[in-house]
Each structure stands twice: as C-alpha cells, then as structure tokens.
A and B are shown apart, each in its own frame.
Chain A
Amino acid sequence: MTSAPSMRAAWSVFARNFLVWRRLFWPALVMNLGEPALYLLGLGLGLGHFVGEMDGVSYVAFLASGIIASSAMNTSSFEGMYSVYTRMGPQKTYDAMLATPLRVEDIVLGEMLWCAAKALFSAGGILLIALALGVITSLKALWVFPAALLIGLAFAGPAIMMSALARNYDFFNYYFVLVLTPMLLISGVFYPMESLPPALRPWLDLLPLPHAVELVRGIVLDVALSRTWANIFSLSAYAFGGFFVAAWLVRRRLLE
C-alpha cells in the first residue's frame, strides 16, 4: 500500500540527481535544449515560410508554443524512463536508497519532482530562444515556468511506470512509438486541433498533451486562456494518479 511521502526525503533524492546532473551538464543541455531548438528553427522558419499564419499567429509562434509543451513532455518522459530505469536497474541506486530510511514513495516523488525540474529547464530554454528570436514578445509568457513544472509532473508518473515494467531499455520503444509520438501528432503541436475530426475531440481531451499545449499556447501567445482550469485539472490528475500507480509498480518491482 502506498503511504504519504516525506517532502524532506523526496528532496534528498532530488538533490542527489541534481548533483549528478551538474557533472553531466553539457550532454544534458544538448539533449534537452538542442533538439527542440532545431525543430523550432528548422520547422518554424522553413515550413513557416510556406504556411505563413496559423490560427491567427505566425507559424513560428504557433509552433514555438507547441514545442515548449512537447519538449516538457519529452524531457520528463526521457528522464522518467532511461534515467530512472538506470537507477532502478543496472546502477542499483534505489537499492542503496532503500537501505536508508527512504521509502519507495519518497523516491518516486523525488524522481517526479526531478523530471519536472528538467521539463522546466528544457521548456524554459525554448522559451528563451523564442523570446530572443522575437517570436514571443509578451512577458506574461514567463507563466510558462510553472506550467512546464506541471506538465513535467503529469508525464513523469507514466514514464516511471514504464521503467518499473521494463526489463530492458528497448521496452521504451513501445511507449515512444505507440503512445508519445502518436500523441505528439494529434495534440495540436504542429497544427490546430480543429482540423481533426470533431468526433475525436472528446477522446483527445482525455490525453494530457492537448491540455499541455492548450495551456502553454494560451500563456505564451497572450490570448484568452479558454479552459485553464480544465487544463490544470487534467494535468494534475495525471500527476497524482501517476504518482500512486508508479509508486505501486516500483514497490512491486523492488520489494516483493
């Protein structure tokens, strides 16, 4: 059974990850910032030349807001899979942690917070690039930071679940190809969701990424946020639900 985690204990897990990450800063920077920045520049400027405007804004701005949300998703998912799996399996970091007063709940919460911090790092970086390029101009865009944290939390839980179920790194291909990539293509990152069949819309609302994109787009483009609370509620539900299921699966893997 899952019990409430201790914030102090979760923080010690977070701090440990931060310490290791500092040593591996440059490769992490290239991975988390370089790739989405290339997408933004390549697709935004290249494709934007042909597309012009989308949904009333320049295509670069439209795409930037989508990529901020999707890079938060990707960064959090990567951390929750490859890195968490490394610590849970090959590196046995969690075994070392469980030999201390830390409990599985503390570890999972610490990891989710860390995934969220990395999502913030990546989304924030894209935001700064977009601000520097003049693609985004409103200062209200800084609200993206808390939004990115929430998006990171929402995607961390499912990723950690995958780690708890995985027997090797290749297992994550399923999640990427069958879940994350299809979701990326239908969640309004590259084109407005209105172009999808209306019958699909209610179902898409069950996914987290459309909410993440809607929230971020509303913030950075300084347009009226249409369903802020629905967006926040959906992402929070993924974060909370993800925590409990992930903690249950990690416990089952490590302690049974």
Chain B
Amino acid sequence: MHTPLKSNIASDTPSLAIRARGLRKVFSHPISGVVAAVDHLDLDVPSGICFGLLGPNGAGKTTTLRMLLGLMPPSAGSLELLGLPMPQQSRRIRPRIGIVPQADNLDPELSVAQNLRVYASFFGLPQQISKPELDRHIERLLEFARLSERRDFRVESLSGGMKRRLTLARALINSPDLLVLDEPTTGLDPQARHTLWSRLEELKAQGTTLLLTTHYMDEAERLCDELVVMDHGRILDQGSPQALIARHVEPWVIEIRSAGRQTTAFAPLSSLGKLERHGSSLFLYTHDRQRALNDIDGLTASLPTPPVLLQRPSGLEDVFLRLTGRDLREEA
C-alpha cells in the first residue's frame, strides 16, 4: 500500500533533517541583565526518526524551536533545515515543514474541514493541485485524524483530543518532510494521548521526521528514537532512551515512601547504589535489587509501621531527574 499522506515525488531529503552549530539566543532582561536562553547548542537530527527535545520549563526548548522554525532570529550560530540554511532560505523550507504548536490556534468559528481548506490556501495548494485532488487530500487527512464524521462541526464544539488531532491533520496539509510538535499531548486524557501517539507512530513509519518536545517521559520513551535532555539552554546529554537510561541510572529503582525525612536512618543503603530524595520519598537506584530489599527490611524491621515500597525498572524519568536535578537532592 502506498503511503497516503506523503507525496509521491522522490524526496531529496538529506541525511540530516536539522543541523545546528553554536546556536545561541540572548535576551536582555531589565533585572537579570543579558540572559542566554539557548547557549551554544549543537544539534544533529537524522532524517526519518522521531527526535525528542526534553527539558524542564525554561530550559530553552521553545526558544530553540522558534529559531529552528525561523520565527525568531538567532543571536549567533548556524542552522540548516532539510539541507537549507535557516532563516535565509525560509521561503523554500516552510513549504516542507509542518508545525503542531503548543497552544491551539485553530480557527474556532470555522468548521473542521474549513480549517484544513483555509490552511491549504496558505500553502498555495489550490494553485498547485486540482480541486478534486485537494478534496481527496483533505478527506484522507480527516480519516487519518479520525475526524471524518466531524467534518462540518465547528471547531468550538470539539473535545481537546479532537482539536489536537485536527491541529495535527492541519500540520500535514503540505505533506511535510519534517513535522515539529511542541508538547502535543499536554492536557489530554489518556485515551486521547494514545490515539495521538498511534497517529504519530504511523507518520514515523511513513518516513516523516518528527521533532518532539514533551514533559512526559513515557511519551518520549515510547516515541523517540533519539533525544536530548537540555537545561539552562545547553544540552546535557543525547542518545536513545535505552542508552541514556543505561548511561545515567542503575537498572532498578526502589522508592521508599514517606522516608524523605529519615535520610540518616537509611544512609547505609547508599553502599548499594545511589540514594536520592525527591519530594517526600527516598529513591534507591541500584543494580542489586534483591540485596537492597533485604537491607531495607533489616533497617525497617524495628519501625512500628514499615514504609510503603515501590520497585520498578528505571526509566527516562529517572534520567531526567538526575540530569536536570531540580528537586532538592541529597546524596547520603
């Protein structure tokens, strides 16, 4: 079966969808003076993969995206999208990228189908393809977004998940080689998130390069082939989710609930791995799960109420917390 959303024209996509060197953006702030929101960023995003841009709020993700999309001039550095320099060649790049923004900016007064049609006109599609072709293209996008039955509904009447799917369909109107998604599932319920993920996986299977920012580590772990964790405008590390987990955290995590204030009592555990406090819990990152559980039993045997224990394989969230370490962290 041919891919329904990509054009049949042989794509001349180079091996790197995005290449940034020394990318920098400084803002002058009335109180804190000159602040570098993005500080000498080097980024290589290979074509055809899903690439994640992770970081806490204020890490510089949105500024990076805005520079990538030519919506903000960089203070320094060079940038190439799909092999073309940005922003110099933005007129040639724009028709080949799609954007799913963080905040919904659909036309609320227009219907679902009208939103797609109007967006097609911004790309000049009515001048490039015949009307029946455009109609078919819009039908396929509605089907892809599971919105065919809602085509004549006003956007105002859609649920949050439907709006997101429409925004995704709209970003695909120009059959982009590169799709940029800024926190695409923030605020959605679990069903809506899963539906959107399956759509993104289908796009990836079709060869569209995805660049994704997200706060959800499960989302990044599920979708991203490769990702960077950034903070304070710099990249802290880069790799596949598995590689990052292997590099930064021990394979097992045991969470001791409500033990955050008893750091000293549990201090002996630190011989088995890393002991960290996040919120009211203690986290033990370890290679030797069995021994750790035994030791915890020993340490808590004398307590009137033994603490609640949770154990799980470590994940991207642990990498994220360790790298960006916003929380009060105590190394015992």
Q: Mark the stretch among B4-12, B105-113, B266-274 that contacts chain A.
A: B105-113
1/0 per residue, CB under 8 A from B, across A58-99: the answer is 000000000000000000000000000000000111011111
Q: B124 at interface (Cβ–Cβ under 8 A)?
A: yes
Q: Lowest 9 CB-CB distances: which A-B pairs, in order?
A: A92-B105, A100-B122, A99-B99, A12-B121, A96-B105, A101-B94, A16-B118, A20-B109, A23-B109
Q: What are 28 residue pairs bridging A and B, where the CB atoms are less than 8 Å apart in the complex?
A: A8-B127, A9-B122, A13-B122, A15-B121, A16-B118, A16-B121, A16-B122, A20-B109, A20-B110, A91-B105, A92-B101, A92-B103, A92-B104, A93-B107, A96-B105, A98-B71, A99-B69, A99-B99, A99-B101, A100-B94, A100-B122, A100-B174, A101-B94, A101-B95, A101-B124, A254-B71, A255-B71, A256-B73
Q: A199 at interface (Cβ–Cβ under 8 A)?
A: no
Please report the C-alpha to C-alpha distance between residue A100 and residue B119 in the assembled complex, in whole angstroms.
8
Residue of A at shortest CB range from B103? Answer: A92
Please report the C-alpha to C-alpha distance between residue A254 and residue B171 in the assembled complex, in whole angstroms.
20
* B170: A residues at CB distance < 8 A: 96
Please report the C-alpha to C-alpha distance between residue A110 and residue B132 in the assembled complex, in whole angstroms.
27
What is the interface of chain B, defined by CB distance below 8 A to chain A? 69, 71-73, 91, 94-95, 98-99, 101, 103-110, 114, 118-119, 121-124, 127, 170-171, 174
- Minimum Cβ distance to chain A for residue B160 (Å): 16
* A13: B residues at CB distance < 8 A: 122
* B109: A residues at CB distance < 8 A: 20, 23-24
* A24: B residues at CB distance < 8 A: 109
Q: Are B110 and A23 in contact (CB under 8 A)?
A: yes
Q: A102 at interface (Cβ–Cβ under 8 A)?
A: yes
Q: A19 at interface (Cβ–Cβ under 8 A)?
A: yes
Please report the C-alpha to C-alpha distance between residue A16 and residue B72 in the assembled complex, in whole angstroms.
25
A-side interface residues, number (CB < 8 Å) = 24
Q: Are B105 and A19 in contact (CB under 8 A)?
A: no
Q: Are B106 and A96 in contact (CB under 8 A)?
A: yes
* B94: A residues at CB distance < 8 A: 100-101
- Minimum Cβ distance to chain A for residue B253 (Å): 40
CB contact under 8 A between A96 and B101, given known A101-B94, A256-B73? yes
Q: Are A20 and B107 in contact (CB under 8 A)?
A: yes
The majority secondary structure among interface residues of chain B is loop
Residue of A at shortest CB range from B98? Answer: A99
* B103: A residues at CB distance < 8 A: 92, 95
Q: Which of A9, A15, A19, A97 has the most CB of B within 10 A?
A: A19
Residue of A at shortest CB range from B127? Answer: A8
- Minimum Cβ distance to chain A for residue B330 (Å): 42
* A23: B residues at CB distance < 8 A: 109-110
* A101: B residues at CB distance < 8 A: 91, 94-95, 122-124
Q: Which of B72, B95, B109 has the most CB of A within 10 A?
A: B109
* B105: A residues at CB distance < 8 A: 91-93, 95-96
- Minimum Cβ distance to chain B for residue A4 (Å): 13
Residue of B at shortest CB range from A106? Answer: B122
Residue of B at shortest CB range from A23? Answer: B109
Q: Other than the known A12-B121, A97-B122, A101-B123, what 11 A-B pairs have Cβ atoms closer than 8 Å? A: A9-B122, A13-B122, A16-B121, A20-B110, A91-B105, A92-B101, A96-B170, A99-B69, A100-B119, A254-B71, A256-B73
CB contact under 8 A between A96 and B110, given known A12-B124, A101-B95, A255-B71? no
* A20: B residues at CB distance < 8 A: 107, 109-110
* B124: A residues at CB distance < 8 A: 8-9, 12, 101
- Minimum Cβ distance to chain A for residue B77 (Å): 17
Please report the C-alpha to C-alpha distance between residue A147 and residue B296 in the assembled complex, in whole angstroms.
86
Residue of A at shortest CB range from B101? Answer: A95
* A93: B residues at CB distance < 8 A: 105, 107
Please report the C-alpha to C-alpha distance between residue A100 and residue B170 in the assembled complex, in whole angstroms.
11
Residue of A at shortest CB range from B87? Answer: A255
- Minimum Cβ distance to chain A for residue B163 (Å): 13
* A255: B residues at CB distance < 8 A: 71-73
- Minimum Cβ distance to chain B for residue A63 (Å): 35
Please report the C-alpha to C-alpha distance between residue A98 and residue B66 in the assembled complex, in whole angstroms.
11
Please report the C-alpha to C-alpha distance between residue A8 and residue B121 in the assembled complex, in whole angstroms.
9
Please report the C-alpha to C-alpha distance between residue A13 and residue B122 in the assembled complex, in whole angstroms.
7
* B114: A residues at CB distance < 8 A: 19
Residue of B at shortest CB range from A97? Answer: B122
Please report the C-alpha to C-alpha distance between residue A16 and residue B105 in the assembled complex, in whole angstroms.
14
* A99: B residues at CB distance < 8 A: 69, 98-99, 101, 171
- Minimum Cβ distance to chain A for residue B16 (Å): 22
Please report the C-alpha to C-alpha distance between residue A144 and residue B239 in the assembled complex, in whole angstroms.
67
1/0 per residue, CB under 8 A from B, across A1-37: the answer is 0000000110011011001100110000000000000
Please report the C-alpha to C-alpha distance between residue A23 and residue B104 in the assembled complex, in whole angstroms.
21
Please report the C-alpha to C-alpha distance between residue A8 and residue B119 in the assembled complex, in whole angstroms.
14
* A98: B residues at CB distance < 8 A: 71
- Minimum Cβ distance to chain A for residue B252 (Å): 43
Please report the C-alpha to C-alpha distance between residue A100 and residue B106 in the assembled complex, in whole angstroms.
13
